[in-house]
Structure 1
Amino acid sequence: MWWSKSKVSSISSPLPCLCLLWLIVPACEAQQQDLGALLTAKCNSWNTKTTLSFPGDGSFANVTERWTVFAPPMYSAAISPATEEDVVKTVKLAAKYNISFLATGAGHGYGTTLGKLQNGLDIDLSQFKSISVNQSAGTVTVGGGVRMRDVIDAVFKAGFEIQTGSCSCPGFVGATIGAGVGRWSGIFGLIIDALVSVRLVTADGRIVQVSKTSNPDLFWAIRGAGANFGIITSATYRLHKIVAGANGGGQVMNADILVPANMSAAYFNALQSFSGKMPANLAAVSIVRYDADAGAAGILANWDYMGSEADGRRAMAPILALNPPVVSISTVPWNKLFATAGFGIDPVLCENNVIRDLYSANVRNLSASTMQAAFNKMGTFYSDHPEARGSVLELETFPNQAATSVPDGETAYPWRDALGNMIFLFSWDASTNSATSTAATKLGRQLRDDFVKTSGYPDLSVYVSYAHGDEKIEQIYGRNKLPRLAALKKSWDPRNVFAYNNALPTKYP
């Protein structure tokens, strides 16, 4: 029987801690059903602001809430540490009693490998929400539970900019450790390129400072494969000073466009014209979605230019020349872009507790024929599976000039030359039959294979934060990075404590 909070709280024995644990865990080998008792044992002396929650508690669902509920991890308990010391104590307790766990910031991970954790412990970092801008150093330090949306206002108000992801809800640190692809990788680089240092709790419960000068091998590894090496409680990033007149002085031209089905081929041809020559200040996200008004597939396109509207219009001239029926152009401060982009679609993108079955492929080339074929297949899918009309293709085409200016060996991230991250995201009502799930899986894999053929890469390559979980490890981390990554995994996490987020081997090949 699982321990509930009410059952655990009924333990009021005055026995010393060692004796209590002997009664609960014979031979010092924890069983999953004893997790609640282990966490609430009096000897733990958690900080008064550290909270524990269990299935059946009112707070448990909030603490363990996820962005996608497709193939999710399942928890028997959650701890929300208030201090770094309590994170350390939790990791040591988990190591001692073989408790499987995940550390979560915003609960935004996509990969199905996370679902391999069953009846484990959620180490919820939501209390690590500090944000501190150092004006003189030009840096910001954020806690491990800070979300993307929390950082941008604080940084903007201080007179700075920073590269971000493409929506507001993921954890900032969580987005970082995969690489942090986003709209401004052409002018600022990836988020990992802004990373200065982190404080990290290791698999054996030590706190280490990680930077170019302190544990530099680990600093290399966490920039692209960070989920494999520890729990980051705080991270410091280098900022970019907003200079009046430079790159628009913190202003962004935002262009939102609706493209009907009969213009899709022309749109994709225009998009292909940017292949290999996307201006550094320009970025686009093209969403193939079900257009309820038309009863067919359509495109919602968001184009952004870091600079003036006049320059932005010139940069995206091939798109505007199509004369789409709906075009909305505005200029906004960069910190308001999430709220503005895509006709304000961010709340929809960030809705929690939705089935999202995601596949993805990186591309070096933009192929109009591949995109149009995918558009047609989605149209058929919408017709055949009306219960899954919340499914979308999100075609991220971001510039890569600043990202590729960083030497490939500088970080563990292997796909700096990618021009597009093609995401195939399927969603349906949980009450529908398994045929929908089967059809989504089949089409997701088919679309992934289709894009690989024209990607410019010799094989499938996938941004780790967009990995489905069925890919080969070389397709996620890159064959040339794996020997060094595996050696570091063996050194820092030989027992594979951090095993559930596209885990690395401890030996390669």
Structure 2
Amino acid sequence: MTETTEHRFSGETLTPESAGYDAARSVFNGLVDRRPQRIMRCSSAEQVAAAIASARADGLPLSVYGGGHGVTGSAVVDGGVCVDLRGIDHVVVDADARTARVGGGATWGAFDAATQEHGLAVTGGRVSTTGVGGLTLGSGSGWLERAFGFVCDNLVSARVVTTDSRIVTASESENPDLFWALRGGGGNFGVVTEFTLRLHPLGPIVFGGMLLYPGFMAVDVLRNWRDYMLTAPDAVGSGVALITAPPAEFVPEPARGQPCVGVVIAYAGDPDEAPAVLAPLLEFGPPAANLCQPMPYVAVQQLLDPPNPKGMHNYWTGDFLTEFPDEAVEAWVEHGFPPVSPLTQLIVVAGGGAIARVDDDATAFGNRQSPFNLHMLGMWPPDPAQDEQNISHIRALSAAMKPWSTGSVYLNFIGDEGLTRVESAYGPEKYARLRGIKRTWDPDNVFRHNQNIPPA
């Protein structure tokens, strides 16, 4: 490992011979099995700077491990240097200022636990093991987005280690072009070791949970949910998932293991007002199971943890919709059911609210006027014999929904689909601006093991 006096790495380095190497290189998606030459575990921005310098000095590709939850598995790189941020996982809350400083290796579970001690929150990942860094840089969709905006809309500043190992601050007043690019441009411009996020009063008790319906009601449930969400108050966060009913106590026995529809609800207003506000959802059906009630916000944030275990094989894609008419609803259900794997989740999330009121040019991420966002999450046990059938199912569903797609995409919802798909997430003007900023901050495209934006 080449080091300079200026950038001498003082953290722990794991190599393929080290104890703990295999555990350290594993990521959420079990389809990804990459072997870095070394994993450089960092506990400070200075150590990150040294790790970047050593990778560059040795001419090795570089990856950044935050939460490791991204379906592309870009946290690890074959034969290169993995800059491991998991030791930079602090969450420091300033309750008076309603802000939190959070390390680039922290997860949303830790973040939510720390902020909820003060009755504060911001939009966070729908699975608590998701990394704060990857979600924020990719814009940051979550249950609270209609109330408080995307995570990137609540970013106050970022501490960034650059390709030449400088440590800089990006905010509205310092390096504003970099700050603009970080809000939706992904990990293309540097390694963020600390985010400062704006918080909002919420919790610790909110109204939330899930409604469960049998699969044969899917079209009717989706139509009712769609019509309600088009005019719902901003405080209503919700999504509908075509899933397989788990073998759980709350599921009626005949429904277990059968196709079903789950309506997730997270209400950011007064919990006492929720039943009246949500009546068109709560009273529809009736559902086979109604798990909606006042509960800790952290419990709402962990609702989807059990069906999203680490190590399963995953293939994801997604699309924003221009509309969700009856024909689209019917196509979604027809091509989605029955799922190939009982672990697969086909999710529709409602847009609108706070995210739609931010000017489209305010951040790198756009697509703010789309009323609905599809997340096609194919998941199955780690058996290569099942790969082709499951991947084909997701691709066929995606193709069936293209007539209603905007042509754009939320990058955190897709795998490696090529540069054209990355460009479509931004549109030609924003993409050109991002490439120009990339040329300034990373002219050699060192940070390329991601949904890459090459320098102009």
Mark yes or no: TM-score above 0.5: yes
- Output the CA distance in 2 between the equivalents of 1:65 and 1:173: 18
Give 5+ residue unaligned stretches, structure 2.
247-253
- Residue 431 of structure 1 corresponds to 383
- Residue 337 of structure 1 corresponds to 300
Cα–Cα, structure 1 residues 463 and 121, in superposed 2: closer, same or farther, change >3 Å?
same
Matches within 5 A, 1:50-449: 50-111=11-72, 114=74, 117-242=77-202, 251-274=205-228, 276-291=230-245, 293-294=254-255, 296-309=258-271, 311-319=273-281, 320-339=283-302, 341=303, 345-349=304-308, 351-382=309-340, 388-397=341-350, 399-433=351-385, 436-449=386-399
- Output the CA distance in 2 between the equivalents of 1:499 and 1:165: 24
Q: Secondary structure of 1:300's partner?
A: strand
Tell me how far 1:102 sits from its aligned partner: 0.5
Paired residue type of 1:68? N
CA contact (8 A) 1:474 1:482 kept: yes
CA contact (8 A) 2:60 2:79 kept: no
Paired residue type of 2:69? H
Tell me how far 1:42 sits from its aligned partner: 11
Paired residue type of 2:373? N
- Residue 246 of structure 1 corresponds to none
Give 5+ residue unaligned stretches, structure 1.
1-36, 243-248, 383-387
Instruction: Tell me which of 399, 403, 413 is aligned to 1:466.
Output: 413
Q: Deviations over 1:79-101 (max 9, x none)?
A: 10122211111111111221111
Report which of the two has the higher share of helix. Answer: 1
- Residue 22 of structure 1 corresponds to none
Identical counterparts, % of pairs: 24
Q: Secondary structure of 2:37's partner?
A: strand
- Output the CA distance in 2 between the equivalents of 1:251 and 1:203: 43
CA contact (8 A) 2:44 2:193 kept: no
- Output the CA distance in 2 between the equivalents of 1:437 and 1:373: 23
Tell me how far 1:420 sits from its aligned partner: 2.6
Paired residue type of 1:303? I
Q: Deviations over 1:221-272 (max 9, x none)?
A: 0101031000001111112245xxxxxx653211321110221121112122
Q: Secondary structure of 2:265's partner?
A: strand
Q: Secondary structure of 2:207's partner?
A: strand
Q: Deviations over 1:143-199 (max 9, x none)?
A: 111110111121121232222121211111221001011111222111111111111
- Output the CA distance in 2 between the equivalents of 1:166 and 1:255: 13
Q: Deviations over 1:304-330 (max 9, x none)?
A: 222345532333333322211211221
CA RMSD of aligned residues (A): 2.4
- Output the CA distance in 2 between the equivalents of 1:275 and 1:451: 20
2:430 pairs with 1:485: no
TM-score, scaled relative to structure 1: 0.82
Cα–Cα, structure 1 residues 163 and 98, in superposed 2: closer, same or farther, change >3 Å?
same
Q: Secondary structure of 1:374's partner?
A: helix
- Output the CA distance in 2 between the equivalents of 1:325 and 1:85: 54
Cα–Cα, structure 1 residues 95 and 189, in superposed 2: closer, same or farther, change >3 Å?
same
Tell me how far 1:123 sits from its aligned partner: 0.9
Tell me how far 1:498 sits from its aligned partner: 0.6
Q: Secondary structure of 1:468's partner?
A: coil
Cα–Cα, structure 1 residues 299 and 192, in superposed 2: closer, same or farther, change >3 Å?
same
CA contact (8 A) 1:252 1:331 kept: yes
Q: Deviations over 1:320-356 (max 9, x none)?
A: 22211211221023233223x3xxx42332x212211
Cα–Cα, structure 1 residues 364 and 209, in superposed 2: closer, same or farther, change >3 Å?
same
2:415 pairs with 1:453: no
Higher mean displacement: 103-112 or 361-370: 361-370
CA contact (8 A) 1:138 1:239 kept: yes
Cα–Cα, structure 1 residues 101 and 42, in superposed 2: closer, same or farther, change >3 Å?
same
Q: Deviations over 1:102-129 (max 9, x none)?
A: 11111111137x3994222211101101
- Output the CA distance in 1 between the equivalents of 2:338 and 2:195: 45
Q: Secondary structure of 2:380's partner?
A: coil
Tell me how far 1:380 sits from its aligned partner: 4.0
Larger Rg: 1
CA contact (8 A) 1:140 1:237 kept: yes
Tell me how far 1:138 sits from its aligned partner: 2.2
- Output the CA distance in 1 between the equivalents of 2:137 and 2:397: 27
Cα–Cα, structure 1 residues 449 and 159, in superposed 2: closer, same or farther, change >3 Å?
same
